[in-house]
Amino acid sequence: MDLNNIFGARIYEFETISSTNDFSKQLCMDNPKNGTIVIANEQTKGKGRLGKTWSSIKNKGLYFSIIFKCDNNKSKYETLTPIISLAITDLLKDYSLNPKIKWPNDILINNKKVCGILCEFKQSPHGNFIICGIGVNLYQDISDFNEELRDKATSISINTNIKIIRNEFINNLISNLHVYYNNFNSSSLKPFLNKYTELSSLLNKEVSLKINGYDTSGNVIGFNELGYLLLKTENKVIEISSGEVTLKNTYKK
């Protein structure tokens, strides 16, 4: 495959692999360079968040992980998922699509999930690493999704007539990621916060949230500089670092 890694690190390519995130974790034991990429055409054990699986059919999606060295700055870890979300939404707009970000890690088109991000932390004798796994549905038809996913998932091809050339898509995504990553040394989302907020599918919506098995609900009023969700409950505003959101009704001010 003709791929460029603008991060100047190695690219590991596989036809089939269990999970690009799991392989990346093993690589951390060999001290990979910042920006190392692992990509596969198929995953047999694709992983999603919260112990879910990620459907990773051959030649249909983009399955890759990027390894970042972690300089003990936890806030950088927090902001990576929003940064990646922005890099992806920029690219989807080039395909005349109108993507939305569903905090914390989903990209939606027409309210259906087209991409998921799974960032994992890995300690090794060489230091700490963050592995960001990105799954994008490129060429799936509705029939490629199982019954459970059919109402919730979509692909780029389902939504546009523009031809997607896989390598071009990956190279542009890596390039977008590089630009955002280089502009984000401050570990704060501040320069991108307005953009991130405008792209949110949850803004001004009433939601219920599961956080570590505990339920809460309220209205989403925005995000902070670390990408935490700001939830207005009955009597206060709480900042939430991660959780599973379910949309209730449209919030009317």
33 backbone dihedrals φ, ψ, rounded to 5°: -70, 155
Q: Indicate which single residue of 36, 41, 43, 154 sits in contact with ligand BTN (rule: CB under 6 A).
A: 43
Q: Give the footprint of ligand BTN on residues 60-89 (CB under 6 A).
A: 63-65
The amino acid sitting at 143 is S
CA distances from 119 to 49, 59, 222, 234 (A): 9, 23, 22, 32
CA distances from 75 to 90, 134, 169, 210 (A): 23, 20, 29, 22
Stretch that binds ligand BTN, among 3-11, 42-50, 96-104, 244-252 (CB under 6 A): 42-50
Q: Which residue is nearest to ligand BTN (CB)?
A: 116
Stretch that binds ligand BTN, among 2-10, 86-94, 133-141, 208-216 (CB under 6 A): 133-141
Distance CA 13, CA 136 (A): 16
Nearest to 154 by CA among 144, 167, 168: 144
- Specify the residue, 18 or 188, whose C-beta has the smaller distance to ligand BTN: 18
Q: Indicate which single residue of 99, 133, 227, 243 sits in contact with ligand BTN (rule: CB under 6 A).
A: 133
Give the binding-site size for ligand BTN (rule: CB under 6 A).
21
Residue 52 CB, shortest distance to ligand BTN, in Å, is 6
Distance CA 139, CA 155 (A): 6
Instruction: At 177, list the tokens.
Output: 């990621």
Residues that bind ligand BTN (CB under 6 A): 19-21, 43, 46-49, 52, 54, 63-65, 105-106, 116-118, 133-135
